[in-house]
Amino acid sequence: MKKINQLLFLFLATTATFFSSCTTDIEPLDPSVTVPDPMANGQLKVDIDGQTFVATNVQATVSAAAISITGLRSGNNDFVQITLPAPLNQVGTYTWTEATTNGVVLGLFYSNSASEGFISAPSTGDFAAFPGYTDTAKVTVTSIDAGNKTISGTFEFTGARINAAGVLVTKTFTNGSFTNISFAGAVVNPTSNSFFAKVYDVPFNPSNITANALSGQVLVTGTTTTMGTITLLFPTTVAAGTYPLSNVGDYVGMFLAGSSPSGIFAAESGSITVISHNTSTKKVKATFNFVGRSPDNETTPITEGAFEVTYQ
């Protein structure tokens, strides 16, 4: 159960990071695409167990692939993420019923100041064995203003996690709203980032590379338009050396083919070799390889992996 919970968290973090990657040090694809100033944005707020969360920094992306909105609260060091993959990326009301019918994940996620992640899941999903969990997830996108590049809507959900003792811990998110949030179109990566691998000996050359520090770990993703996404997760304190990759823990490898959990190929063997890591400049260089296994027990070999990135 704990492994499934972490894989769903990693899936959500990967999709959210890809679709709403940091706007620092990136430039628009063309002059018509404006990257919004997150400090001069609309408002995202929600009541968490009756206490109101108001984001101080909000970022959003609306694309043909997904809607992604992230609200961070400085000082408290916590954040809320909403990710709606296509075909949920349009005006409408969405629950886990619509998500599962379309084979995608309804991405509702909260990370608190202790870096504990709380996710939403369907009633028959990760937390089905716990009678204390009730699915209340609902996201309504009320407007997408293409002219002003703003998005508004409401949301609610029950977030849950399984602690080290195997006990279900929940938080209730009510009265959530995002109002006139500025969104960006597609953005390009810092030109200094590089990423390469082979999937079944076929070259994997991502058109989008992201690297972000998330809850004490670095999340590096390379995404192509046709083959999917490869993700590596490792601690922000990692030193040069070789570390085994698995599907849980501090060092995780994952290949995501498509937009549903059945397309997660999580590492069952393999390793990452960190060649160098400068914690001051946040630049890391590494090589990797792993064999990923899906929930349907299929395997995919990832070989000759290498990246050199500066994470945000």
Half-sphere exposure of 254 (CA within 13 A, CB side): 34
Half-sphere exposure of 127 (CA within 13 A, CB side): 25
State the Cα–Cα distance between residues 64 and 235, nearest whole angstrom: 32
- The single-letter DSSP state of residue 263 is G
State the Cα–Cα distance between residues 1 and 160, nearest whole angstrom: 12
State the Cα–Cα distance between residues 292 and 266, nearest whole angstrom: 5
State the Cα–Cα distance between residues 111 and 93, nearest whole angstrom: 24
Q: What is the pLDDT of residues 263-305, one digit of tens each?
A: 778 899 999 999 999 999 999 999 999 999 887 788 999 999 9
State the Cα–Cα distance between residues 179 and 71, nearest whole angstrom: 12
Maximum Cα interatomic distance, the chain, rounded to a whole number of Å: 52
Please state whether the peptide bond connecting residue 261 to the residue before it is cis, i.e. omega within 30 degrees of 0: no
Q: Tell me the β-bridge partners of 149.
A: none
Structure tokens at 38: 């997150």
Q: What is the pLDDT of residue 16?
A: 52
- More confidently predicted of 170 and 12: 170
Q: What is the helix, strand, coil percentage profile of the chain, to 5?
A: 10, 50, 40
pTM of the model: 0.61
Least reliable range by pLDDT among 15-24, 88-97, 187-196, 240-249: 15-24
Residue 33 phi, psi (nearest 5): -100, 115
Structure tokens at 144: 């997408």
CB-based contact 188:35 (threshold 8 Å): no
CB-based contact 179:42 (threshold 8 Å): yes
SS3 237: coil
Confidence of residue 197 (pLDDT cuts 50, 70, 90): very high
Residue 153 phi, psi (nearest 5): 175, -170
State yes or no: pLDDT of 169 exceeds 70. Answer: yes
Distances (CA, A) of 282 to 30, 212, 218, 233: 27, 10, 10, 15
Least reliable range by pLDDT among 46-55, 212-221, 236-245, 303-312: 212-221
Q: What is the pLDDT of residue 261?
A: 55
Q: What is the pLDDT of residue 132?
A: 84
Mean pLDDT of 100-115: 81
Structure tokens at 271: 């390793």
State the Cα–Cα distance between residues 169 and 133, nearest whole angstrom: 9
Structure tokens at 300: 């995919």
Q: What is the pLDDT of residues 219-264, one digit of tens each?
A: 888 877 778 889 898 999 999 999 999 887 889 898 987 655 557 7
| Position 302, amino acid | I
State yes or no: pLDDT of 36 exceeds 80. Answer: no
State the Cα–Cα distance between residues 38 and 298, nearest whole angstrom: 41
Neighbours of 17 (CB within 10 A): 25
